[in-house]
Each structure stands twice: as structure tokens, then as C-alpha cells.
Structure 1
Amino acid sequence: MLRNREIQLYMLVFIAITLTAIVAAIVLFSAHVALFVFVTAAILILCSLLFTKWRYNEIAKLSGYLRRITSGDYSLDLRDNHEGELSILKSDIYKVTLKLSEHSSLLQQDKVKLTNAISDISHQLKTPLTSMMVMADLLGDTKLEDSKRVEFTENIRVQLERIEWLVSSLLKLSKMDAGTVPFKKDTVYVAELVERAIQPVLVPMDVKQLTLHITGDKEVSFIGDFNWSTEALINIFKNCVEHTEDSGEISISFSENTLFTQIIISDNGKGIPKEDLPYIFKRFYKGKNAGEESIGIGLAMAYSIIKSQQGDFEVRSEISKGTQFFIKFYKRVI
């Protein structure tokens, strides 16, 4: 402590003042008064040194705490019930420690999510890549029949389209997770939205001879992004078509009130098991009734898009009775 420059300067000033006071006491009063001044000054210097040493010890403890915190030990509790600058400093350090602990926990969770995502993506890409490698080797056979060559080539094209869709979907999801997607705030008419979103699934619906029912006022609307909302509905429609048996029905209804605009999409297909319902919006989750070609990312994307527009997405389902998707876009209150 005495090696610190500020303490040395402090002691020199204190001693100079004490000597000046002693000399003045001898000249103006007597030696007894000078002795009293000397003793009093000595006691004050000693008390000051003891107090300063205590403060330096406390600061040294805080420095030790900070070193432990920087090394990753966030379990320290520095708070006390006293008043004063050191107590305030301890409380502030404790608050910072809590924030660092929360950030560390979030980073750890992000690492786990990233690891799981990479594992899931690798698993999803492995199957089509393996299939294409096998068929590419077969195509190299000069004795391969033309019909088989056409079949394998078409199969490779389908697998490439699947990989392209998967990569594109993951890029969109990553942008939404990062908050870099600029969702527009336009007036979206639900009738036009449904008409646009249903187009990509009309052919598979026709193949399975599904009946489509659409009910709703053309003036029903909400504030959102038309293109991204279309993307969400396409994924929901694809799920309905995939899980509805031949000659089944798909119903779409929409309405609007003072609180929200609601879209209800229903099918009379296989339904979703009760134990799968809590996880259907989880990426790469495949329920018991999922098809072999299902990746488990469509509903996750639809959920992210709707939630990113301050909407609500709910699913109700019963085995062998079908599934209902409830989408709500709430009115903006100023």
C-alpha cells in the first residue's frame, strides 16, 4: 500500500501539515500544546492509514472477484446490506455478473442449437446425396437400359430439387432468426392470399381428387407481408394435401373482427397424434404419420413467418378426423 504514489503524496502532505501545526503551537503556546498536537496528528495518521488499508483490501477482494468472473465463475454473490460507495460498487458488479451469466447461458444454448441444426441438416442431406451417388454410378454403366437411364436421371433431378428446397428454406429461416428479414406492412387481402398460395398444390390435389372449399368475404384483410404470408400458407397447404387421403376434403375459411383477422385451414385426413402436437413446429421434427419424403421444416417455417408478423398459430387435430390450423393476425393498436 505504501508503495502507491498517491499514498506517499498523501502522507507527505499530512506530515507537512502536522509539522507546521507543531511549530506554530511551540511559538504561540507551549511545548505541552505542541505535544498534544503531535499525538493527535499521529493518531489521525494511524487511523487514516488503517482505514485506507481496509479500503485497499476490499478493492483487492473485488479485483479477485473480477478475475474469477472473467474466468467464467458466475456463482459469486458480492451483495451486502451496507451503505457506501463500496457496497454500491459490489451491487453493480453483481448486476454485471448476472448479465454475463445470462449471456453465457444464451451462447451455450446457441451452440447446442447450432450443433443440433448442423446434425439435422447433415442427416437430411445424407439420404438424397447417397441415393444420387448410387444412381450416378449406375448411369456410368454403358450397358444400362435406356428406360432405366431415364428413370435414374429423373430420380436425380427430384433429389436435387429436394436439396435445393431444403437449402432455400434453411436460408430463409436463418434470416428470420437473425431478424434481418424486412417484413412489409401492407394491406393483405386474404382472398388474394389464399388464391396465390393454393396454386402450387392444385396439381397434387387434382391427382388425389381432393375437394376444396373456400369461404370468406373478399374484403377481409390484415396488415402484413403478402409474399412471406403466401410462403407460410403454401407450407400449410402442402401439409394438408400430404396427410389427406384420396377423395378427401380441404376447407379454408377466413373472417375479420375488431381484434384480429382469422384464417382457418382444415382437412379430414389422418390427423396428428396428441403426443406429436407440442412438437410439430420444431424444425426437422417428424411425427408418426409423416411421409417418407417429409423433412419436417414446412410447419416450422410457417410458424416463424406468422409469429414474425405478430400473429398467432394454433393447431388442433384428432386421429382419423383431420386437422385444423388456426391463424390469427391481430390488429395494431396505437
Structure 2
Amino acid sequence: MFMGVVLLALWSMSILLIIKDRKVPSSRWASLTAFIGGFGFLAGIIDDELRPVLQDFINPSFDVMLHYAANTASLICQMGMPYAFLLFALHSWPAIKEQTRKWVAGIAMLPIIYSLVTTPVVPELLINYRITNIWVVPYLLFSSLLLVYLYFHEKDPLLRRGRYVVLMIGVAPILFITLTIYIFRLYGWYEAWRYNALLIFAQFLLFVGFALKHGVLGVKLSVEQNRLNMTLRALTSGTSILNHSIKNEVGKMQLILHRLNRLTEGQPEIREDIRDLQQSTEHMLNMVQRIQGKVQEIPLKESDCPMDELLNQAIDHVQPYLQQKQIELVLVSKPRWTLRVDPVQLKEVWINLLMNAIEAVPVGGKLEVESYVSKKYFVFVLKDNGKGISKEQLAHVFEPFFSTKKHSESHFGLGLAYCYQVLRKHQGLMEMDSTVGSGTRVYLYIPRKRQMNVSEMEQKEGGHKNETNSGHDGGR
């Protein structure tokens, strides 16, 4: 019964991965690895649970067929899983060329074909593990080491988190399975595979946990994002009601103050107090309007916008502040893409982020802006060498009214919440990575589907091709 639960868990992971990200090769191979791995438990279910129950009720020849089916399922698992995992690792490696992947895939298939041809399935499955391990163990170890390497060399926080998840739910189980299915059988320990069931079930629970919190290989069942979205919607409704009520009450106060101002002509001290009250009511109304402007539902007015021009406009806007603090701003790579976005809202995002960075760095500090293309996103990175943010604060930076800027009436803690909203409206993401004493990196992710195609660009620019694949093109 437990093996049935494990089989269901493995194939559920496989289905989730292929449904959510079927266009991404690494997700397809991850899905196939989980699916093929399930055949090993299918074999166990047939031999250990199905045949003993049915043996008194079915024809002996059908029982033999079930046994052969179990042997075939076991063979598919043991021969196919190392290959699928190898291809998953290769497609997770952005530096390797597609042509190289194809060559490796073709060559790596040869020992599998040999093993399938030379391994008898009937009357019993007889795998020669001394020969099989010559290629299986290198496949699995190389793939695992490659994925570990990619994790430690990944700087993008979104991708690094994904690679960490792969280590936990992919590499660790594979290394254990390498021992229990392949190496231990060299020494006659054929039943060690049964321990895999507990490991795979724990792997499934981790998969669900990571998917709920962060997302796994494209699958995201996010509770945290939904909570923040609901908070912002509730805040929008609340500030709208508050703004309406305050405007009504302030309107009454201003009428009364205006009347008092006329009645107190010739009484300068009282009139001075009335002017102070009028300024206070205007300040109160202004504050509520500013809060509502940051949390209200954002309607996008999209147009085709060159990203380098938009970024330059935002930099020009903050140039006086850069000069005042003698801050150097370096464009590591220019985003030469034209995307369908709301330029007004996105420019406001950049201005917010640049102002935050300017306030965080010391006099004579440095800002860097980088851009590159990942598998699914156009990525923008703003890096500063400021004081950084602690991990405790970093967990709350996108929450409304949370601010690391103390003792300032000009900050409501809504700037990053607003930026987050704008990115979500564009079906994008926003991440922040920071180290106390070393500075902060802010990552903006805009989906690649928002890129104009070449024919549209040629029509709009008179045949000039855009340069959309500059920077770190192709495939992180």
C-alpha cells in the first residue's frame, strides 16, 4: 500500500512539472526522471502486492505475464532513469551548446541500447551490474556534481533558490538510489531498494513544501504571494474608505476654518493659529492621498517601450541626487529590448529603486545596473554597495508599511510594495538579496513573452532589426 502512495507521489510530481513548464527542456527531463523512477515502484507493487492477492483467482499464465510486466518495469526504471537525469543536468547547464547536448544525448544512449538488448527479462530479470555500473554510476555522479557546481556558481537569487531545491529533492535522493539500486547489488544486497520508498515520500513532501513557498522547477503553488496580494487588496479598499471619510471631514474643517478666518479679522494671533490648522488639514489629506496612490489597484496602460530609453529617463530623474552624494552609476550592460509594458509605472519603479539605493549608499558610493536574458525572463539587476539589510528585515521588505528607514515622515514603507505590485501586474517577479555591510541587489523579472517580435519592430522602425539578444543571452 505504501509503495502505491510513493508511486502516486512520483507520478504526481511528474505531471505537475510537465503541465506547468512543458516548454522548458530541463523541466521536461525532470518530469521524465520522476516518471521513469516510478516504474521501479510499479514493479514492486505488481510483484509484492498485486500477484499475491490475485494468485488464487487468476490463470497461472496471466500470473506469469504480470511477473514479466514487473521485470520490464524494473528494467525501464534502472536503464532509463540515469539517462533522463543526465539530460536534465545537461539542460540545466546554460553554458553548454544545444548541438553538444544532442551529441551527448546520442552517445549516452548507446550503453542503454546495449544493456536492453543483452539483458534477459524472462524467465527472470538478470542485469549484469558489473557492466551496467560502468556507465550508470558515471552518469549519475557526473549529473549530481554538475548540479552542485551550478548551485554554487549561480548569482541570480531566483535561479539559485531553484538550484538549491534541485539539490534537496533531486541530487540527494539520486545519490542514495545510486547506492541502493546499483552499487549494493554488486555485493548481493538486492532488497536495499525498499528503503527508497521512505526517501521518495520525504522527497515528495519537500517538493510540495518548496512549491508552496518558493516554486520548484517552474511549479509554484504560492501561499505567501497570495497572502501579500490579499493584504494589498485589503489595504487598497481600506485606504479608499479612509481617504473618502477624511476628505469629507477635512472639507468640513476647512469650511469652518475659512469662516473663522473671516470672523477673526484684526486678531493676528488667532488667525496664525487658524493658518496652522489649515496647513495641518492639507498635510493630513496629502498623506492619505499619497498612501492611496501607492496601494491602489494599478491599471496598466501598455505600449511598446525600449528598455534602455526607459532606464535612461529614470537615471536622468535621479541625477541631481547622484551628483549630490557623488555616487558613481555604472551600466554594466544595456537592456536593448523593446517590451510591451506600462512605461509610466515601470519608470516609477526604477525611480523608487534608484532612490532607495542612493539613500542606502554612503557619499562616494557606487551603483551598478545589469541586464540579461534567462530562460523565461528579461532580468534587470540594481546593485549598491550600501550598508545592506539584515535577513530578518529582508523577509518583510515587500510588506506594506514596513520600512528600514527610521524617523522619517516622508517614508510610509510603501515604495517596495508598489514596485512589487507593478511587477506582478506585468506577470513578473521581484526579488531582493542583501548582505549587511556589503550592499543589496534588487532583481526585476519581466516575462520574455512581453518582447515584441522582429516583424513588429521592422514595421514600426522602418526595417531596422532590434537587438533583443544582447547581454547574457540564451539561457540561464
Please give the TM-score of this superposition, normalised by the length of structure 1: 0.49
When Rg is computed on C-alpha atoms for both structures, the one with the higher figure is 1
Provide TM-score, normalisation by structure 2: 0.36
Higher percent of residues as helix? 2
Q: Structure 1 or 2: larger strand share? A: 1
